[in-house]
Structure 1
Amino acid sequence: MKKVIGRRERINFPEWGLKNVTGKIDTGAYTSSIHCEFVEEREEDGRKVLFFKVLEPSDKKYNGKLLRSENYSQKKVKNSFGQAEVRYKVSTKVIMFDVEFEAEFTLTDRSKMRNPILLGRKLLIGRFIVDVQEVNLSKKSLK
């Protein structure tokens, strides 16, 4: 049974220590994205590792954690201005409506956007139906 979600929803990232971060639902975007100010690829014991920090220091949810992933790739995406750019893509567990699942996010500069997270179709497919009149239905369902 698919859950109804609003145009903005709260999302938790347990592996990254983030709770109740606002994500904007974007059915026009295939891949989800999250704001990233710092990203660096390094080599550790002969393996490539991606280090990154998500959200902005001015964001109330920002924790300054230096995150790392060996499970990442690079993806060519069209940005909101229609220009192709290469972004790092990472996978992590997320929780929405008390359901935990794996999701992929590209790391990008969303500092000029209102929401630090964009939730695209790949995350939504088979799980959610969007009601654009609503916001934060996951929070309302906890009452």
Structure 2
Amino acid sequence: MNRTVKRVLGRRELVDFPAFSLTGVEAKVDTGAYTSAIHCSNIHIETDAEQRPRLVVHLLDPGHEGTDGRALAFADFALRDIRSSNGEVQERYVIRAVVQLYGEDFEADFSLSDRSDMKYPVLLGRSLLRQGRFVVDVAKRNLSYKSLARAAGRRARR
């Protein structure tokens, strides 16, 4: 029998978004949410020189370490109905982004919303957790980053 090894995530993880040059962003692992989410502000549509729509946003808060205040533009985006934590359906923009866990890249859909009233700017939902074959141990935190730090320490001692 061929069993897939499942990696363990804690209830909170530090994640990287290499395409956005963001590292060590705090994320809440939420098995109750289907779609992952990332905090952004100033969400609006602009048109480029060829009159094609672009979604323009500022990821995270200006005071968040790692952000440089620049706006990001996405040509590939969708508008979807997303059910919020209180059960209300909201129309949100969704982008596809690469997030790193355990030093590995995972591509996932991220809904864009103002999470400034939330404790964590990123939420990792079930669709991402499934593809990475993760299980969640709610008693743990930052297992992905701790694993990478241990591996780096072992390499440094060689």
* TM-score between the two structures when normalised by the length of structure 1: 0.95
Equivalent-residue separation in structure 2 for 1:75 and 1:137 (angstroms): 32
**Alpha carbons 2:106, 2:128 under 8 Å: kept:** no
Q: Which residue of 2 aligns with 1:37?
A: 41
Q: Which residue of 2 aligns with 1:130?
A: 136
**Alpha carbons 1:2, 1:126 under 8 Å: kept:** no
Whether 2:56 is the aligned partner of 1:51: answer: yes
Deviation at 1:62, TM superposition (A): 2.6
**Which of 21, 24, 45 in structure 2 is aligned with 1:20?**
24
Q: Which residue of 2 aligns with 1:86?
A: 91
Deviation at 1:63, TM superposition (A): 2.3
Q: What is the count of residue pairs matched by the alignment?
A: 143
5+ long unaligned stretches in structure 2? 151-158
Q: Deviations over 1:14-40 (max 9, x none)?
A: 111100101000000000001111111
* Structure 1 residue runs of 4 or more that deviate by more than 4 Å after TM superposition: none
5+ long unaligned stretches in structure 1? none
Q: Deviations over 1:18-69 (max 9, x none)?
A: 0010100000000000111111111111211111111111222332121111
Identity of paired residues, percent? 41
Q: Which moved more, 1:7-16 or 1:77-86?
A: 77-86
Q: CA RMSD in A?
A: 1.1
**Secondary structure of the corresponding residue to residue 131 of structure 2:** coil
**Secondary structure of the corresponding residue to residue 140 of structure 2:** coil
Q: Which residue of 2 aligns with 1:4?
A: 8
**Secondary structure of the corresponding residue to residue 141 of structure 2:** coil
* TM-score between the two structures when normalised by the length of structure 2: 0.86
